[in-house]
């Protein structure tokens, strides 16, 4: 990899000052960035280590949970409040990567990890994400792992994070700090669809740093889960995954629901079409299937992933069915 | 600026590109830790940092200033094999031996995680304070360590003997 300078930031202000150099990138656990740097896909001239920033999970007075961006994945999954009140998030993190990687990876880094599309990784392939205008070898190539929703003629890559699918389902809010000050953003607005600028993964401005993720209060998220379908039983990316939370009324109808899909798009896919189709409907296979069909109606399969739309439909039904069966 | 390796302070490399793995193998000639893929996919480079298992090929050494690293060389005490090392021998937990140091360091880290009640993707009751180490739990918790020779059954047997009293 190309040479770079390394500095460790003690707080967000110092990180942003050090990160204001256009050639600088923030460094968390390094589990994605170091790999990308070895591949030449990322070439920062300076790394600003932000693992020393506040790394705690705090109860906010209103029932929300504030998770510092420097908190390691393992610590989030292990936290009693996450396991009890937002089990979808704990389960999503635990299905991701390996234990060693979860121990190293930060929440901020997990959010900003880049696609594992093999053509993005292959410096000899045509990739619009790596080199704008070069073309996309995945569209007519080996695309089993690629997108069926929200893609464009320029890019069919998927976002690989499991944690983000759960965060999308939970309406998580991201706290940002940058040269221009602080702002917050729904996680679902952070990642972009590829459009004609697949080189831009997120809407982050230059030097902007993720400082925390807030989980709004959602008492009925105790009835939530994450299921990941993949080619191996463990340590593999999702073909399709589902994050779901379900609130069932006493009359047996869906009082409220949260649904998000992984493995299907350039960003964690909040299934709001399915959610709208579910609210107020009687719980049961028929309602689940109608909602899943609505969400996947515009699915555009590729040569090698034609199984994904049906897999997604079945997985949505199966996961919702399981949640109905769970005692809250 | 130093890092503690198996109880001894070692100077950090001047070049921030040096991975912890390369520091161990190339600079310190501690070649027990193996480079299998150099991209975090195989687990052969697993070491312990303050008792926690990590992937040393993706760890920039400069990020670990002041931390305590234990490699496979640091597990044996006073010339006696660590119980897991002995169990791997007894239960035929290796063939070529290349993944083995990573497997053993990973298992030590895994045992500590299980002891403190960290759940895994195999855990049914997420709210439980602790979960027994079944074969399924061990397989899931060790899934970050590949073994191309297929010694998995012996690996699981060894781990269960030492960490779960023989296993269920």
Is any Cβ of chain A less than 8 angstroms from the Cβ of B14? no
d(C-alpha B107, C-alpha B163), whole Å: 9
d(C-alpha A113, C-alpha A212), whole Å: 16
How confident is the prediction along chain A (328 residues), in pLDDT tens digits per residue?
999 999 999 999 999 999 999 899 999 999 999 999 999 999 999 999 999 998 999 999 999 999 999 999 999 999 999 999 999 999 999 999 999 999 999 999 999 999 999 999 999 999 999 999 999 999 999 999 999 999 999 999 999 999 999 999 999 999 999 999 999 999 999 999 999 999 999 999 999 999 999 999 999 999 999 999 999 999 999 999 999 999 999 999 999 999 999 999 999 999 999 999 999 999 999 999 999 999 999 999 999 999 999 999 999 999 999 999 874 4
What pTM was estimated for this model as a whole? 0.98
Contact B40/A1, CB-based, under 8 Å? no
Phi, psi torsion values for A265, nearest 5 degrees: -155, 170
A with B: how many residue pairs have Cβ under 8 Å apart? 98
| B 148-167 residues with CB < 8 A to A | none
Contact B40/A35, CB-based, under 8 Å? yes
Write out pLDDT tens, residues B44-60.
999 999 999 999 999 99
Quickly count: other Cβ atoms within 10 Å of residue A286's Cβ.
11
For residue B55, the chain A residues in CB contact (below 8 A) are 31, 98, 100-101, 104
Write out pLDDT tens, residues A14-33.
999 999 998 999 999 999 99
Q: Which residues of chain B have pLDDT under 70?
A: 165-168
d(C-alpha B160, C-alpha B168), whole Å: 8
DSSP, collapsed to helix, strand or coil, labels residue A102 as helix
Q: Which tokens in the block code for residue A181?
A: 């000050």
ipTM: 0.97
Cβ-nearest to A6 among B16, B119, B139: B16
Q: What is the pLDDT of residue A231?
A: 97
Q: What is the pLDDT of residue B164?
A: 85
Integer CA distances (angstroms), A221 to A44, A226, A323, B99, B151, in order: 40, 12, 11, 40, 41
Q: What is the pLDDT of residue B167?
A: 45
Write out pLDDT tens, residues A85-137.
999 999 999 999 999 999 999 999 999 999 999 999 999 999 999 999 999 99
Is any Cβ of chain A less than 8 angstroms from the Cβ of B1? no
Cβ-nearest to B16 among A4, A100, A104: A4
The 3-class secondary structure across chain B, one letter per residue, is CEEEECCEEEECCCCCCCEHHHHHHHHCCCCCCCCCCCCCCCCCCEEEECCEEEECCCCEHHHHCCCEEECHHHCCECCECCHHHHHHHHCCCCCCCCCHHHHHHHHHHHHHHHHCCCCCCCCCCCCCCCCCCCHHHHHHHCCCCCCCCCCHHHHHHHHHHHHCCCCC
Best mutation target, A27, A39, A78, A98, to test chain B (most B CBs within 10 A): A98
d(C-alpha A156, C-alpha A173), whole Å: 26
Contact A87/B126, CB-based, under 8 Å? yes
What average pLDDT does chain A have?
97
């Amino acid at each position: 990899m190309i040479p770079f300078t390394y500095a460790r930031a003690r707080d967000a202000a110092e990180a942003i000052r050090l990160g204001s150099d256009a050639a600088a990138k923030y460094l968390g656990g390094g589990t994605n960035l170091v790999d990308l740097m070895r591949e030449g896909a990322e070439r920062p001239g300076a790394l600003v280590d932000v693992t020393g920033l506040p790394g705690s999970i705090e109860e906010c007075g209103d029932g929300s949970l504030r998770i510092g961006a420097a908190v390691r994945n393992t610590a989030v999954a292990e936290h009693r409040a996450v396991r009890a009140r937002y089990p979808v998030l704990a389960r999503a993190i635990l299905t991701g990567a390996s234990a060693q990687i979860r121990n190293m990876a930060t929440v901020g880094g997990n959010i900003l990890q880049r696609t594992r599309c093999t053509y993005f990784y292959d410096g000899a392939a045509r990739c619009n994400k790596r080199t704008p205008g070069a073309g996309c070898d995945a569209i007519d190539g080996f695309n089993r792992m690629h997108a069926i929703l929200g893609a464009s003629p320029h890019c069919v890559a998927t976002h690989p994070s499991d944690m983000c699918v759960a965060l999308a389902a939970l309406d998580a809010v991201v706290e940002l700090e940058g040269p221009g000050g602080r702002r917050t953003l729904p996680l679902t607005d952070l990642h972009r669809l590829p459009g004609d600028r697949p080189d831009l993964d997120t809407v982050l401005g230059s030097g902007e740093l993720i400082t925390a993720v807030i989980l709004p209060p959602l008492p009925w998220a105790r009835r939530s889960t994450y299921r990941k379908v993949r080619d191996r039983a463990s340590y593999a990316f999702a073909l399709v995954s589902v994050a779901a939370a379900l609130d069932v009324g006493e009359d047996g109808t869906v009082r409220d629901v949260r649904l998000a899909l992984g493995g299907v798009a350039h960003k964690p896919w909040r299934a709001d079409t399915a959610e709208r189709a579910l609210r107020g409907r009687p719980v049961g296979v028929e309602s689940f299937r109608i909602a899943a069909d609505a969400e996947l109606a515009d699915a555009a399969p590729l040569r090698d992933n034609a199984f994904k739309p049906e897999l997604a439909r079945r997985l949505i039904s199966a996961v919702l069915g399981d949640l109905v069966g769970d005692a809250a | 600026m130093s890092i503690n390796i198996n109880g001894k302070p070692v100077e950090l490399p001047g070049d921030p590109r040096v991975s912890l793995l390369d520091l161990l193998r190339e600079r310190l000639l501690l070649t027990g830790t193996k480079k299998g893929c150099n991209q975090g996919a195989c687990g052969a480079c697993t070491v312990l940092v303050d008792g926690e298992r990590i992937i040393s090929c993706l760890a920039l050494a400069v990020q670990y200033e002041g931390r305590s690293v234990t490699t496979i060389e640091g597990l044996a005490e006073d010339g006696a094999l660590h119980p897991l090392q002995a169990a791997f021998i007894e239960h035929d937990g290796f063939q070529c031996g290349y993944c083995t140091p990573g497997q053993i360091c990973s298992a030590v880290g895994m045992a500590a995680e299980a002891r403190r009640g960290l759940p895994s993707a195999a855990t049914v009751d997420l709210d439980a304070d602790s979960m027994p180490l079944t074969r399924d739990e061990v397989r899931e918790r060790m899934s970050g360590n590949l073994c191309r020779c297929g010694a998995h059954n012996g690996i699981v047997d060894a781990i269960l003997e030492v960490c779960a009293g023989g296993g269920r």
